[in-house]
Structure 1
Amino acid sequence: MTPTLKLAWQSLLNRKITALLTVLAIAISVTLLLGVEKIRTETKRSFLSTLSGTDLVIGARTGPVQLMLYSVFRMGNATNNIDWKSYQHLQQHPLVKWTIPLSLGDSHQGFRVLGTDQGYFTHYQYGDHQPLKIRQGKVFADIFDAVIGADVAKKLGYSVGESIVLAHGAGKTSFMKHSDKPFTVVGILAPTGTPVDQTIHVSLAGIEAIHLGWENGVPAMGKPRVTAEQARQQALEPKTITAALVGLKSKIATFRLQREINEYKDEPLTAVLPGVALAELWSLLSVAEHALLIISAFVVATGLIGMLTSILMSLNERRREMAILRSVGARPVHIFSLMMTEAGLLATIGCTLGVSLLYLLMLITQPIISNYYGVALAITPLTHYEWLLILIIISSALLMGLIPAWRAYKNSLADGMTIRV
Structure 2
Amino acid sequence: MSTILGLAARSAWNRRHNLVLMVIAIALSTAMLLGVERLRHQIRQGFSQSISGTDLVVGARGSPTQLMLYTVFRLGSATNNMSWNSAQRLASHPLVAWTIPMSLGDSHRGFPVLATTTDYFRHYQYGDRQPLRIADGRPGLDGIFDTVLGAEVARRLGYRLGDKIVLGHGSGLEAMGDDLKHADKPFVVTGILAPTGTPVDRTVHIGLAGMEAIHLDWQAGVPIPGMAIPAELVKKFDLTPKTVTGVLVGLKLRSRAFAVQSQIAEDQKEPLMAVLPGVALDELWDTVGMIEKGLLLMSWMVVAVGLAGLMSSILAALGERRRELAILRAMGARPRDVLMLLVAEGVCLMLVGTIAGYLLLSGVSFLAAGWLASTFGMALPVVWPQASELPVLAAIIAAGALASLWPAFRAYRLSLSDGMTPHL
Q: TM-score, normalization: structure 1?
A: 0.91
Check the 8 A contact 2:106/2:167 in 1, yes or no: yes
Question: Structure 1 stretch 116-125 or stretch 350-359: which is displaced more?
Answer: 350-359
Aligned identity (percent) is 51
Deviates more, 1:233-242 or 1:393-402: 393-402
Cα 1:183–1:18 shift into 2, 3 Å: same
Structure 2: 5+ residue stretches without partners: none
Kindly provide the amino acid, as one letter, of the partner of residue 178 in structure 1.
H
The answer for the alignment partner of 1:350 in structure 2 is 353
Amino acid paired to 1:220: I
Contact 1:98 1:248 in 2 (8 A): yes
Amino acid at match of 2:185: K
Instruction: Give the aligned length.
Output: 419
Distance in 2 (alpha carbons) for counterparts of 1:379 and 1:195: 25
Aligned to 2:250: 247
Q: Which of 251, 257, 273 is residue 276 of structure 2 equivalent to?
A: 273
In structure 2, the residue matched to 1:205 is 209
Residue 111 of structure 1 is matched in structure 2 by 111
- Which moves more between the two structures, 149-158 or 360-369? 360-369
The alpha carbon displacement at 1:295 in A equals 3.6
Aligned equivalent of 1:86: 86
Question: Paired residue for 1:126?
Answer: 126
Aligned partner letter, 2:80: N
The residue aligned with 1:33 is: 33
Contact 1:7 1:338 survives alignment (8 Å)? no
Please say if 1:182 is aligned against 2:163: no
**Alignment equivalent of 2:233, drawn from 230, 235, 245:** 230
Contact (CA 8 Å) 1:48, 1:279: kept in 2 or not? yes
Are residues 9 and 141 of structure 1, via their aligned partners in 2, closer, same or farther at CA, if it must alter by over 3 Å? farther
In 1, the alpha carbon distance for the partners of 2:363 and 2:166 equals: 41
Asked if 1:405 is matched to 2:414, the reply is: no
2:262 match:
259
| Preserved CA contact (<8 Å) 2:326 2:416 | no
Relative distance call for 1:320 and 1:93 in structure 2 (3 A) is same
Residue 160 of structure 2 corresponds to which residue in structure 1? 159
1:364–1:285 distance in 2 versus 1, CA, 3 Å: farther
Is the deviation greater in 265-274 or in 296-305? Answer: 296-305
What SS does the aligned partner of 1:221 have?
coil
Q: Distance in 2 between matches of 1:351 and 1:337?
A: 21
Which whole-Å deviations, capped at 9, do the CAs of 1:325-383 have from their partners, x for residues lacking one? 33445444442332122211321233233334434554566556555554454443321
SS of 2:172 mapped into structure 1: coil
Mean Cα deviation higher: 360-369 or 203-212 = 360-369
Distance (Å, rounded) in 1 between the aligned partners of 2:251 and 2:188: 34
Give how far 1:49 is off.
Answer: 1.2
Given that 1:149 and 1:191 are in contact with CA atoms closer than 8 Å, whether structure 2 keeps it comes out as: yes
Q: C-alpha separation between the residues in 2 aligned to 1:278 and 1:203?
A: 27
Q: Quick check: 2:195–2:374 contact (8 Å CA) kept in 1?
A: no
CA distance in 2, matches of 1:205, 1:100: 14
CA distance 1:136–1:296, change in 2 (3 Å): closer
Alpha-carbon displacement from aligned partner over 1:124-169 (angstroms, at most 9, x marks no partner): 1111111112222212211111111222222222222222221111
Single out whichever of 128-137 and 283-292 deviates more from structure 2.
283-292
Deviation at 1:9, TM superposition (A): 4.5
1:298 and 1:159, CA in 2 relative to 1: closer, same or farther beyond 3 A? closer
CA distance in 1, matches of 2:168, 2:279: 34
Q: Is the 8 A contact 1:95 1:249 kept in 2?
A: yes
Amino acid paired to 1:218: V
1:307 and 2:321 matched: no
Alpha carbons 1:71, 1:102 under 8 Å: kept: yes
Q: Residue type matched to 1:128 in 2?
A: D
Pick which of 49-58 and 353-362 moved more: 353-362
State which of 205, 211, 214 in structure 1 corresponds to 2:218: 214
Distance 1:313 1:53 in 2: 59
d(CA) in 1 for partners of 2:4, 2:153: 60
The aligned amino acid for 2:96 is V
Q: Distance in 1 between matches of 2:404 and 2:356?
A: 20
Paired residue type of 2:176: S
Q: 1:395: how far off?
A: 1.3
Shift of 1:52: 0.8
Distance 1:420 1:158, change over 3 A: closer
CA offsets per residue over residues 225-252 of structure 1, 9 Å max, x none? 0111210121110001111000111122
Name the SS of the counterpart of 1:103 in structure 2.
Answer: strand
Structure 1 letter corresponding to 2:103: S
Find the counterpart in structure 1 of residue 292 from structure 2.
289
Structure 1 unpaired stretches of 5+: none
AA partner of residue 53 (structure 1): G
Counterpart contact for 1:43–1:377, Cα < 8 Å = no
Q: How many Å separate the matches in 1 of 2:156 and 2:370?
A: 13
Q: Secondary structure at the match of 1:43?
A: helix
CA contact (8 A) 2:195 2:373 kept: no
Corresponding position: 1:140 with 2:141: yes
Q: CA deviation at 1:4?
A: 5.5
TM-score, with structure 2 as normaliser: 0.90
Segment of structure 1 superposing worse, 199-208 or 332-341: 332-341
Structure-1 residue corresponding to 2:394: 391
Structure-2 separation of matches of 1:64 and 1:131: 25
Give 1:62's aligned residue.
62
Q: Distance in 2 between matches of 1:123 and 1:312?
A: 62
Structure 2 CA distance for aligned equivalents of residues 361 and 284 of structure 1: 32
Query: CA 1:179 to 1:277, structure 2 compared with 1: closer, same or farther past 3 Å?
Result: same
Name segments (4+ residues, structure 1) moved above 6 Å. Answer: none
For 2:47 and 2:383, locate their aligned partners in 1 and report how far apart those are by CA, in whole Å.
17
CA RMSD of aligned residues (A): 2.4
The question of whether the paired residues in 1 share the 8 Å contact of 2:323 and 2:419 is answered with no
3-state SS of 1:402 partner: helix
